Structure 1
């Protein structure tokens, strides 16, 4: 009898093509692995509220969200790693002084600056044109009329400084990452953009020590599972610690070379059965 494994699967660039498409084989891989008794968790930089129904409806045993800020077992929130209010205020103050667009992630809310919606709207409009041009293809995971992120990002209101686990900054300034790193180093963990279509000036910020990998270790401890039993699959810079702590770290074929350097192996790309091939190789399906 095969011992049950636990797999942590990133969303954008791993589970789905950055944008809105998912390979049918990926859905089949997740459902088949769970049917065989393995655990499959999402592990994403998205806030929980950004894990839209079409993604959750695939069926998962839980989720790590906001880049390690939160963890759920089933529908129960079991880990919260949020920032002190003064740290959030310092971060927001720097963004506003620098003129950078940004949004804050709590467990169930997004707090965007005024320019965020327009940035995402431009991308999704271009993505829609690309999808039409290529014709029939992988299954979309967002409605055709309006992407749900646009509705959330249109809700510009007073920022909350409590319950915030992560921020994402978006800037045309290619030095933005360097400037944010310099200003926030020490208390914060700053990584380069994990949203490629937002440009090289984007990035994300959590508290120092908060990342997918460290939260996975906390979650595995709660589940009573050994990290050696875990498989991590991802493609971006916020996946590096996940690949490092899991018994097997797998980079997608579309991952950057920097991410692949931290992986034990590389599978095929996101729309080329990458998750299916990884699960198959390790006996989950």
Structure 2
């Protein structure tokens, strides 16, 4: 029997495409790999509450969420890498003074500023226009009349500064990322946005040292597994450390050249059987 492996899969741009559809082959890859005795974990910038039921129902052994802020084994939260409340206050104060929209991620909640819903409504409308007719070999991962993200981002309420692991900022200012980086990078890990089509006016912020890769190492230690046994598959800037720490770092075919440069190999694109081909190459399916 093949030695069991562990695979970490990004969600946006890896498991699903920007139009929020998933290839049937990707679902088959995850389920077949687990049936064959391998472990498959999500590794996403999304918070736990942002992982749609259709994705969860595929079946995973656990998840790294909020860009490394949290890790769970099954449904049990085992790692929390949250910010001190005063660090969250520092970050929020900068966003508000700059006029940038943002949302905060705790393990199971999002706390949006007032303008976030409008940004996402435009983003989703643009995606719907680009999507066109759904191919027969893919499935939509959202099935509700109102997109769940729009529901979440409509819930504007007092912010929580406790239990926050990550923030996402969104601005029309093309220099927003540079300004956030200059103001916060001494204390925080600031990367360009991983939400498609939001452009350079968006980004993600965690505490310095908190990323998918460093949390994967903590989780592997807890599981008693060697990083050499791990596959990491991703396409975006928040996947770089994951690609670096896993024994095999695999970039999606739709990743940028910058992301591919950090990978050991490149598979095909998200809707062109990218996950299935990567799993088959390494004997998981």
Place the TM-score, normalised by the shorter chain, in its bin.
Answer: over 0.9
Q: Distance in 1 between matches of 2:73 and 2:269?
A: 28
Unaligned runs of 5+ in 1: none
Structure 2 residue 253 is the aligned partner of structure 1 residue 253:
yes
Listed as ranges, the matches of 1:212-231 within 5 Å are 212-231=212-231
Structure 2 counterpart SS, 1:134: coil
How far 1:2 sits from its partner (Å)? Answer: 0.8
Listed as ranges, the matches of 1:205-284 within 5 Å are 205-284=205-284
Moved over 4 A (4+): none
Q: Report what 1:19 is aligned to.
A: 19
How far 1:144 sits from its partner (Å)? Answer: 4.8
| 1:91-124: CA deviation from partner (whole Å, max 9, x where unpaired) | 0000000011100000010000000001111121
Listed as ranges, the matches of 1:1-285 within 5 Å are 1-131=1-131, 133-137=132-136, 138-285=138-285
Note if contact 1:234-1:252 (Cα within 8 Å) is conserved in structure 2.
Answer: yes
Bigger shift: 33-42 or 140-149?
140-149
Q: Distance in 2 between matches of 1:111 and 1:18?
A: 23
Q: Distance in 2 between matches of 1:146 and 1:98?
A: 31
TM-score of the two chains, using structure 1 as the length reference: 0.98
CA RMSD of aligned residues (A): 0.9
How far 1:134 sits from its partner (Å)? Answer: 2.7
How far 1:233 sits from its partner (Å)? Answer: 0.1
Q: Distance in 1 between matches of 2:218 and 2:134?
A: 43
Q: Distance in 2 between matches of 1:19 and 1:247?
A: 30
Bigger shift: 57-66 or 12-21?
12-21
Unaligned runs of 5+ in 2: none
How far 1:126 sits from its partner (Å)? Answer: 2.5
Q: Distance in 2 between matches of 1:101 and 1:77?
A: 29
Note if contact 2:10-2:42 (Cα within 8 Å) is conserved in structure 1.
Answer: yes
Q: Distance in 1 between matches of 2:243 and 2:130?
A: 31
Q: Distance in 2 between matches of 1:189 and 1:126?
A: 29
How far 1:78 sits from its partner (Å)? Answer: 0.1
- Residue correspondences, number: 284
How far 1:198 sits from its partner (Å)? Answer: 1.3
Note if contact 1:249-1:263 (Cα within 8 Å) is conserved in structure 2.
Answer: yes
Note if contact 1:171-1:199 (Cα within 8 Å) is conserved in structure 2.
Answer: no
Note if contact 2:19-2:128 (Cα within 8 Å) is conserved in structure 1.
Answer: no
